[in-house]
Amino acid sequence: MKNSDFYHLYIFVLLIFFWRTALFWLGDNTMGEGKDFILYTSLVFVEILSAYLIIFANKKMIHDRWIHELCFGWELIALVCLVINNASIGHYPKVLAWPLFFESAYLIVRWDFSMIKSLRKVFYWLIIVGAYVFYQSMHMKQFESQSNMIYFLILPVPMILLHCNSKWRFRILLLTSFLALLSMKRSMMLAIILFWAIYIFKDLFSKGKKSLAIAISVILFGVAYGSIEVVDKITAGGLSSRTVNYEKDDISNGREAIYDVTLDMIANSSDIQLIFGHGHNAVLRHSPLQISAHNDFLEIIYDYGIVALLIYLGLWVYVIKQFLFHYRNNTVYFIPYTLSICIFIVMACVSQLVLYVSYFLYLVMFWGVVQASKDKWLIKE
């Protein structure tokens, strides 16, 4: 099979899968909770084509082949976990979407590099919609409490920064930082602070100004802390009230209580459950706190099992290796990739990414585009 034929077929099958998924999310009653023939058939073809991508595709055309193996591995083990736990049909697209979106973004750009511009235009529209939703959310709260809607405004930013000139890139980053502060969402504020610390280190270290880099980074964290204090005063303790140490019977906010309960649930699982998990979103369904784990590692090992956790750890290794590659080679993708990995690290550790596929898809599509660009660049070299 020629590469172009494979790309066409793969994208076609993915479109069928996304179409059936969209119908379900839009409330198509004909799909119900039973077995949807078209959805399952498209999944089978996706698995076959993914295997072809890994095993038979030209090795000279694909670098970092193991990320495709990880995607295929997640699709396979997650599918097994869902079947074993008698998951409803609505769980399949939520669990299997991120590797498919990574592969689709990769293949689209790998097939036609100019498609990056088209994808950026799509993300521009997503940011516009996200800005409207974020404003409405903050307006309803009279700008006095946090808003999760900030994620839909900032998560598309790494894709927007691709091939953006330095002046506009800096302006977008400053605006992003301001909006993160305005949202009062601690995880996003922490991700932005981490990004600027890495950005300053990279810029000043490359100029041999290591002492200045350390000094400015310390000042940056001081300014960030001061900004948080100012926002806390404006909101009459809106931030500090969410950061104190809650008692373990407080079910609304305490991360420590959530982690302790989730760890107990994992410890009380059977061997089979440790291997294949309890099913999608099982922490929320089984926890006496009635809340998700707020940590991807705990969520994955309870929902999908140890094998899925190992694959997820492989994704962490991949993302960090890609970050170091762009750092050492000072590529045009370094700044947007740094922003994406900072968001990924913070949200995965203290919030949730894999569970909320609407968040994660922004990042994995960006990573797929960058991987395709890297493959083309290395082949030219």
Of the given ranges (202-206, 288-292, 330-334), which has the lowest mean pLDDT?
Answer: 202-206
pLDDT band at 52, cuts 50/70/90?
A: low
Q: What is the pLDDT of residue 121?
A: 85
Please report whether residue 132 resides in a domain: yes
Q: What is the pLDDT of residue 199?
A: 83
Please report whether residue 115 resides in a domain: no
Q: Note whether 306 and 275 are within 8 A (CB).
A: yes
- Please say whether the dihedral angle defined by the alpha carbons of residues 223, 226, 231 and 237, taken in this order, is positive or negative: positive
Please report whether residue 316 resides in a domain: no
Residue 244 has pLDDT above 50, yes or no: no
Please report whether residue 368 resides in a domain: no
Residue 38 has pLDDT above 50, yes or no: yes
CA dist 31 and 297 (Å) reads 32
pLDDT band at 114, cuts 50/70/90?
A: confident
Tokens of residue 71, six digits? 């995607």
Residue 336 has pLDDT above 90, yes or no: yes
More confident residue, 149 or 311: 311
What would the mean pLDDT of 317-325 be, rounded to a whole number? Answer: 95
> What confidence tens digit (pLDDT) does each residue in 159-168 have?
999 888 888 8
pLDDT band at 248, cuts 50/70/90?
A: very low
More confident residue, 283 or 119: 283
Q: What is the pLDDT of residue 213?
A: 62
Please report whether residue 367 resides in a domain: no
> What confidence tens digit (pLDDT) does each residue in 273-284 have?
999 999 888 999
3-state secondary structure the chain: CCHHHHHHHHHHHHHHHHHHHHHHHCCCCCCCCCCCHHHHHHHHHHHHHHHHHHHCCCHHHCCCHHHHHHHHHHHHHHHHHHHHCCCCCCHHHHHHHHHHHHHHHHHHHHHCCCHHHHHHHHHHHHHHHHHHHHHHHHHHCCCCCCCCCHHHHHCCHHHHCCCCCHHHHHHHHHHHHHHHHHHCCHHHHHHHHHHHHHHHHHHHHCCCCHHHHHHHHHHHHHHHHHHHHHHHHHCCCCCHHHCCCCCCCCCCCCHHHHHHHHHHHHHCCCHHHHHHCCCCCHHHHHCCCCCCCCCHHHHHHHHCCHHHHHHHHHHHHHHHHHHHHHHHHCCCCHHHHHHHHHHHHHHHHHCCCCCCHHHHHHHHHHHHHHHHHHHHHHHHC
What would the mean pLDDT of 40-47 be, rounded to a whole number? Answer: 65
> What confidence tens digit (pLDDT) does each residue in 163-189 have?
888 888 888 998 988 888 888 787 888
Q: What is the pLDDT of residue 150?
A: 84
Return the residue matching tokens 């736990």. Answer: 85
Please report whether residue 331 resides in a domain: no
Q: What is the count of structural domains for the chain?
A: 1
- What range does the domain containing 196 cover? 127-242
Q: What is the pLDDT of residue 314?
A: 95
What rounded mean pLDDT belongs to the chain?
77
What would the mean pLDDT of 238-256 be, rounded to a whole number? Answer: 49
% of the chain at pLDDT higher than 70:
67
CA dist 96 and 334 (Å) reads 28
Q: What is the pLDDT of residue 14?
A: 61
What would the mean pLDDT of 290-294 be, rounded to a whole number? Answer: 88
CA dist 292 and 347 (Å) reads 13
What would the mean pLDDT of 100-112 be, rounded to a whole number? Answer: 82
Rg (CA), the chain: 21
Please report whether residue 4 resides in a domain: no
Tokens of residue 105, six digits? 């973004």
Please report whether residue 258 resides in a domain: no
**Who contacts 10 (Cβ-Cβ below 8 Å, separation ≥6)?**
46, 49, 53, 103, 104, 107
Residue 32 has pLDDT above 60, yes or no: no
Residue 375 has pLDDT above 70, yes or no: yes
Q: Note whether 9 and 49 are within 8 A (CB).
A: yes
Tokens of residue 263, six digits? 């760890």
Q: What is the pLDDT of residue 137?
A: 77
More confident residue, 95 or 231: 95
Q: What is the pLDDT of residue 265?
A: 94
Q: Note whether 276 and 305 are within 8 A (CB).
A: yes
Q: What is the pLDDT of residue 160?
A: 93
What would the mean pLDDT of 99-119 be, rounded to a whole number? Answer: 83
> What confidence tens digit (pLDDT) does each residue in 54-98 have?
555 555 556 777 888 898 889 888 888 888 988 776 677 778 778
